[in-house]
Each structure stands twice: as structure tokens, then as C-alpha cells.
Amino acid sequence: MVFWRKKKNEGMQDQERADDELLHHKTDPELSPLIEAENDLAPDNVMAKSMNAIEPRDLTDAHTTPVPDHTPVDDFKESEDLKDHTNEGGWFSRLSKGLSKSSNKLGQSITDVFTKRKLDQEALDELEEILIMADMGPKTAAKIVAAFSENRFDKEIEESEIKSVLASSMSDILKPVAIPLDINGKKPFVMLVCGVNGAGKTTTIGKLAHEYHMKQHKKVMIAAADTFRAAAVDQLEVWAKRAHVPLIKKDIGSDPAAVAFEALEKAKADDVDLLMIDTAGRLQNKANLMEELAKIIRVIKKQDDTAPHAIVLVLDSTTGQNAHSQVQNFKDVVNLTGLVVTKLDGSAKGGVVVSLAQEFGLPIHAVGVGEKIEDLSPFKAEEFAKALVGA
């Protein structure tokens, strides 16, 4: 059922337009027509009270976006429509295509340095440099080069051998962190999704909802705990509808922790398998953002002290080494359980994934290779390493 947005006063409309401009990145698809979620709950504004006053109770002012009526046939058709058929040919070829900027850069440098040349100290130093330039970071580069020179020092080496040996030592670094997200064992499994603005949190939640609900037939719910900008909620709502899952939201400016709390109540009541909570990536400053996250977690724990069961940091691979400081910043405040790395399609900085694995050892659950609903794949170490060096 569709409910058209009620006419808002002009001030609010201006604010929303401004919010919209802030939120939408240049490549964002249009989100119109805007759809108003059904407010099937009483308008009691209890959550304006301090979070400490929260007690488990019936839902009050949260809105639930209804799941549209649909049949499995509709779902399948829609899923097919949303697929990017221009890019088919399996995960590996899509990843290779996506990572071609990274692999071309790395491959060309290797060709330049190593064509018919002995592996002497100078060549090894140059290789280390190449790996650092490919965003692997100095420590990881040194480790890979050390492994590489074993049994090969002072021997002539073919370019193809270099690539396959590099791929295998990168794969050794990546294998321990290639851990799929396991949402079984807790019900509801509560996943908090965090990351800096524009990293791909909302898009990743949409893709995961599609995967778990439409493909794995799990009962999924999404909560909009980025309550600071109307457009942020609207964007999440579009994804919820695409994936046919309900969205829990509250009015703009509500307490994000209250959204999380009420969503968990509702998820429990509705026997949901997976609750994903979208958070803000942009607040006035870093301290506010981190404080907000910590508060969301505190409040969730009031209902279930084992939750959140996953705290996933979404990282934009195009930010390169900056991803390290993002991980460190979030790690300082929350107990990160894993990463999703996005925008590996077209990123020249895919090597950062290897240095992240080496440096932090956090599970990498999935990687984003495009903006469409199907463009998320579990992280596979060997394939990723091969695609990265173009082996």
C-alpha cells in the first residue's frame, strides 16, 4: 500500500531539499517518488524522554514501513530487473573488471621493473615501493617482499611468476580474514552498521537485506537510526522497499538510540531473524558521532546484553590508506566485529584491503562492487588476490 507524503509547510520542504543535497552523493540515483510510511502506532512521544527512562514496553511512536504485498514471482522478476546484466560473467570476472584500475597500476609497474631481470636487492626494493604505491602500506609490503625473495634471490624471474607468487602471498594474508557473516545462533541477530559519511552503509544494508530476505528467505528488519536528515531515512526506505523488508523509523531529530531500542522490541515481537541498524556517518564532529554509537549500543544492551551481535564497519576502498585511521577511530569506541569494503569497482586503491587484513585482522565479510542490489559478494581471499595483481 502506498501513502503519499502529506503536504509539509514550506520551511520543512526547504530543509528537506537542503538535506537532500547534503546526503546525495553525485552518483546517487533519484529517490522519488517519496513514499510516506504508514504510521500505525499511537503518536505518544515517549522517546523524547531521557534514554535512562526507557523500559521495555509496547511500541509507541515508531513508524513501520509496511512491506508491500508481493509474491515470490514478483520478487524474482524484480530481482532480475535490478540485476546489472551488462556486467555478467561470474563473480571473479566482475571483481577483476572492477579492480582493473588497481591491477593495471600494479601490473604495469611490475612489468616496468622486472622484465628479464635478476631479483637483486635493488629489484626487491623497487617491488616494495610498488606495493606501497598500490596502497598495501609499508609493513604489509615488507612482509610480502620478504616472503617473495625466499629461494628466489639472484635468480631471473618471469613476470607471470612474480604475479602468481605475489597473489599467493597476498592470499595467505587475506585467508584468515575472509569470514562470512554468520547470522545464525541468535534471534534476532542484531547488526549495527557504522562508518563515515558516504562509505556505503545504507547501500550495503539494502544489499544485505536483499541477500538475506529475498535469497535466503530470512525474516529481516531494518532500523533507521540516522535520524539527523530526512533524506537519509528516505534513502533507507527506498532500499527497504526494494528488498521487501520492513523499516522502523521515527521522526527526524528523534533519538537514534530510541529507534534502535524500539526496533529491537519490534524485531523480537515479530520473530525477526536479522535486524540491521543504519547509523549516521556525519555529525557535527567525530566525538558526537562516536558518542552516539556508544549510546545506541548501551541502549540495545538494556534489552539483550549479548547484542549487538555484529558491529560492522563499512569502508570506502577509494579512500585508500585513510581507511586505516577510520578503523582505528571506530575501534577505539566500539567493539568492531567485521568489515565490509565498498566501491571496489573502479577503485585504484584495492590494495588497502590487504593492508587492513594485515594490520587489524578483522573479518572482512563482504565487498561491494557496484551500486546495484546484487553488487555485494562474500569476500574470497584467493580470488581477490588474483584479481588485484591481475594474475
Ligand X SMILES: Nc1nc2c(ncn2[C@@H]2O[C@H](COP(=O)(O)OP(=O)(O)OP(=O)(O)O)[C@@H](O)[C@H]2O)c(=O)[nH]1
User: Which residues form the interface with Mg ion (CB under 5 A)?
Assistant: 201-202
| Part in contact with ligand X (CB under 6 A); list of ranges 61-69, 291-299, 341-349, 354-362 | 341-349
Q: From the CB of 87, what's the least distance to ligand X, in Å?
A: 11
Q: From the CB of 279, what's the least distance to ligand X, in Å?
A: 8
- Calculate the CA 209 to chain-centre distance: 12
Q: Does 345 engage in binding with ligand X (CB under 6 A)?
A: yes
Q: From the CB of 55, what's the least distance to ligand X, in Å?
A: 30
* Among ligand X, Mg ion, none, residue 256 binds (CB under 5-8 Å by kind): none
In the complex with Mg ion, the residue whose CB is nearer, 140 or 204, is 204
End-to-end CA distance of the chain: 50
Out of 107, 137, 246, 281, point to the residue binding ligand X (CB under 6 A). Answer: 281
In the complex with ligand X, the residue whose CB is nearer, 201 or 365, is 201
Crossing angle of the two packed helices 381-389 and 90-98, in degrees rounded to 10: 40
Q: Does 251 engage in binding with ligand X (CB under 6 A)?
A: no
Residue with cell 521515527: 250
Q: Does 203 engage in binding with ligand X (CB under 6 A)?
A: yes
Q: Please, what is the Cα angle at 112 between 110 and 116, to 5 degrees?
A: 90
Establish how many alpha carbons lie within 13 A of residue 5's alpha carbon, considering only the half-sphere containing its beta carbon. Answer: 12
Q: From the CB of 278, what's the least distance to Mg ion, in Å?
A: 6
In the complex with ligand X, the residue whose CB is nearer, 32 or 306, is 32
298 burial via Cβ count (<10 Å: 0-12, 13-18, 19+): middle
DSSP string, 47-116: GGS-GGG--S----S-EEEPPPP--HHHHHHHHHHHS-GGG-SHHHHHHHHHTHHHHHHHHHHHHHHHTT
In the complex with ligand X, the residue whose CB is nearer, 186 or 282, is 282
Order the strands of the 247-249 sheet from edge to edge.
63-65, 247-249, 220-224, 274-278, 189-194, 310-316, 338-342, 364-368, 376-378
In the complex with ligand X, the residue whose CB is nearer, 110 or 260, is 260
Q: From the CB of 156, what's the least distance to ligand X, in Å?
A: 40
Q: Does 363 engage in binding with ligand X (CB under 6 A)?
A: no
Q: Does 351 engage in binding with ligand X (CB under 6 A)?
A: no
In the complex with ligand X, the residue whose CB is nearer, 137 or 198, is 198
Q: From the CB of 204, what's the least distance to ligand X, in Å?
A: 7
| Part in contact with ligand X (CB under 6 A); list of ranges 77-85, 152-160, 201-209, 265-273 | 201-209
Residue among 39, 34, 42 nearest 4 (CA): 34
Q: Does 202 engage in binding with ligand X (CB under 6 A)?
A: yes
Q: Does 370 engage in binding with ligand X (CB under 6 A)?
A: yes
Q: From the CB of 230, what's the least distance to Mg ion, in Å?
A: 12
* Among ligand X, Mg ion, none, residue 137 binds (CB under 5-8 Å by kind): none
Q: From the CB of 191, what's the least distance to ligand X, in Å?
A: 14
Q: Does 349 engage in binding with ligand X (CB under 6 A)?
A: no
Instruction: Enter the C-alpha cell of residue 364.
Output: 572482512
Q: Is the CB of residue 168 less than 8 Å from the CB of residue 391?
A: no
Task: State which of positions 20-59 bind ligand X (CB under 6 A).
Answer: 23, 25, 27-28
* Among Mg ion, ligand X, none, residue 171 binds (CB under 5-8 Å by kind): none
Q: Are strands 247-249 and 220-224 parallel, antiparallel or unpaired?
A: parallel
Distances (CA, A) of 352 to 134, 165, 341, 371, 388: 8, 19, 10, 20, 11
Q: Does 227 engage in binding with ligand X (CB under 6 A)?
A: no
Task: State which of positions 306-335 bind ligand X (CB under 6 A).
Answer: 314
**CB neighbours (10 Å) of residue 82?**
15
Q: Is the CB of residue 223 less than 8 Å from the CB of residue 275?
A: yes
Q: Is the CB of residue 364 less than 8 Å from the CB of residue 379?
A: yes
Q: From the CB of 326, what's the least distance to Mg ion, in Å?
A: 15
Q: Does 343 engage in binding with ligand X (CB under 6 A)?
A: yes
Q: From the CB of 139, what's the least distance to ligand X, in Å?
A: 27
Backbone phi, then psi, for 321, in 5-degree steps? -60, -20
Instruction: Enter the C-alpha cell of residue 9.
Output: 509547510
Instruction: Enter the C-alpha cell of residue 249.
Output: 523509523
Q: Which residues bind ligand X (CB under 6 A)?
A: 23, 25, 27-28, 195, 197-203, 226, 232, 281-282, 314, 342-343, 345-346, 368-371, 375
